[in-house]
Amino acid sequence: MSRAYVLDSSAVLALIEEEQGADRVEEILRGGGAILPFVVLLEVYYITRREKGEVEAKRRHALLQQLPAKVLWKVDEPLLFAAGRLKAERRLSLADALIAAYALQESAVLVHKDPEYKSLAGELELEAL
């Protein structure tokens, strides 16, 4: 069984915009263990819409839907409590708390370019790009 990796929005944007770390994200996608929480799709959509317009935002959303990654759409009570605990105890945005909670729930490595996640060292496995 391949290793599971939750891709943060910053990792996905690195891939799309061919930034540092894009090669590693491609490698993870080829390995078959990539996971995209719904909030990543939401963040990529709204950031792109704000910066590049609706057409590009929809294009990127369609691209994400085609990636070889498992999209997690469901927020259940255990995830709600995990994200709520992380948000209450750490300096994280709500989106980052949800993404980290998905990584915990899936026993996955959280792949990111976001310094906010440093506060989670020891709580879950992190891979900074």
The distance of Cα 2 from the centroid of its chain, to the nearest Å, equals: 18
- By the 10 Å C-beta count (0-12 exposed, 13-18 middle, 19+ buried), 120 is classed as buried
81-91 average pLDDT score:
96
Domain count, the chain: 1
- By the 10 Å C-beta count (0-12 exposed, 13-18 middle, 19+ buried), 90 is classed as middle
Give the end-to-end CA distance of the chain in Å, rounded to a whole number.
23
Task: Kindly list the distances between the CA atom of residue 101 and the CA atoms of 41, 59, 78, 119, in Å, as whole numbers in the listed order.
Answer: 16, 28, 9, 14
Residue 65, domain CATH: 3.40.50.1010
List phi, psi (to 5°) of 6.
-90, 125
DSSP string, 27-54: HHHHHT-EEEEHHHHHHHHHHHHHHH-H
pLDDT tens readout for residues 39-54: 999 999 999 999 999 9
Q: Does the model's pTM come out above 0.75?
A: yes
Give the residue numbers spanning the domain of 44. Answer: 5-128
Look at residue 92 and give its three-state secondary structure.
coil
Judge contact between 47 and 9, C-beta under 8 A.
yes
Please provide the average confidence, as pLDDT, over all residues in the chain. 96
pLDDT tens readout for residues 110-121: 999 999 999 999
pLDDT attached to residue 2: 75
List phi, psi (to 5°) of 7.
-95, 120
